[in-house]
A and B are shown apart, each in its own frame.
Chain A
Amino acid sequence: AAGVIQSPRHLIKEKRETATLKCYPIPRHDTVYWYQQGPGQDPQFLISFYEKMQSDKGSIPDRFSAQQFSDYHSELNMSSLELGDSALYFCASSLREFRGPSGELFFGEGSRLTVL
């Protein structure tokens, strides 16, 4: 079965550079979530989109922005990168109408960003 696809899987950048992470949700899923997970930390919610509109916002720095496109894929743009941005970035998708008794989010394998 198709899963959430994230790219790139690994990314190395230097301080003050920019990075773009991409997420391709499971086909027909209409909601995308971005999470950041630092080493040994729990995933922290950054932002979510439903039907191409931002639906919720968490602890996302102002240096970061994201959007969901007409084909439902999403991109997370990170600028002026800092050492502390080094983390695993997960994308998850769901189908909102099925977020009923089992509101499962399906996670991708993550993109590991290393800022040097």
Chain B
Amino acid sequence: GESVGLHLPTLSVQEGDNSIINCAYSNSASDYFIWYKQESGKGPQFIIDIRSNMDKRQGQRVTVLLNKTVKHLSLQIAATQPGDSAVYFCAENIRGGSEKLVFGKGTKLTVNP
């Protein structure tokens, strides 16, 4: 069925380090994936997305990797900053199907100064 999950509920890194947040999905029909950042008391904020015809996409300081073989998604944040501290969610969608996004369990990233 549709489900997206995360391997680690928390991640703590030092400022300046690179962070890697992982996500596993189970619906092989999902073909569009998004990473959202959610700060305390705020709504999810779009970070980066990727379609299933790609295996890598880069943004500013962020990279998303998609491995369809093992249904795995990761978000890499370069030179992590204190402002990156938040909960990160991956979400999936089946294009051409339901419009809804299915969110996975969040990973709380804490950046230590």
**Contact residues in A for B36 (Cβ distance below 8 Å):** 107
State which of B100, B104, B106 has its C-beta within 8 Å of the C-beta of A56: B100
Contact of B100 among A4, A33, A96, A109 (CB under 8 A): A33
- Contacts A42-B89, A42-B104, A103-B32: A56 and B42 contacting too (C-beta < 8 A)? no
**Chain B 34-66 residues near chain A, CB threshold 8 A:** 34, 36, 41-46, 49, 51
Q: A43-B89, A99-B99 are in contact. Are A107 and B43 (CB under 8 A)?
A: yes
Interface size in chain A (residues, C-beta < 8 A): 28
Inter-chain contacts of B72 with A (CB < 8 A): none
Residues of B within 8 A of A104 (CB): 34, 46, 49
Docked-complex contact B43 and A109, CB < 8 angstroms? yes
Number of interface residues of B (CB under 8 A): 23
In the assembled complex, the Cα of A42 lies from the Cα of B49 at a distance in Å of: 18
Annotate A1-44 by CB proximity to B: 1 below 8 A, 0 otherwise: 00010000000000000000000000000010101000001111
Nearest CB of chain A from residue B88's CB, rounded to whole Å:
11
Q: Is the CB of A45 within 8 A of B100?
A: yes
Pick the residue among B41, B42, B46, B105 that contacts A105 (CB under 8 A).
B46
Residue A48, interface by CB 8 Å: yes
Query: Does residue A77 face the partner (Cβ distance < 8 Å to B)?
Result: no
**B99–A43 touching, CB < 8 Å:** no
Which A residues are CB-close (under 8 A) to B104? 42
The complex places the Cα of A85 from the Cα of B41 at a distance, in Å, of 17
Q: Any chain A CB within 8 A of the CB of B78?
A: no
Q: How far is the CB of A98 from chain B (nearest CB, A)?
A: 13
Contacts of B102 in A (CB 8 A): 45
Q: Does A64 contact B (CB under 8 A)?
A: no
Q: Is B85 an interface residue (CB 8 A)?
A: no
**Would you list 27 pairs from A and B whose C-beta atoms are within 8 A, ordered by A residue?**
A31-B99, A41-B105, A42-B104, A42-B106, A43-B44, A43-B89, A43-B103, A44-B103, A45-B100, A45-B102, A50-B99, A55-B99, A56-B99, A56-B100, A92-B44, A101-B51, A102-B49, A103-B32, A103-B34, A103-B49, A103-B93, A105-B34, A105-B101, A108-B43, A109-B41, A110-B41, A110-B43
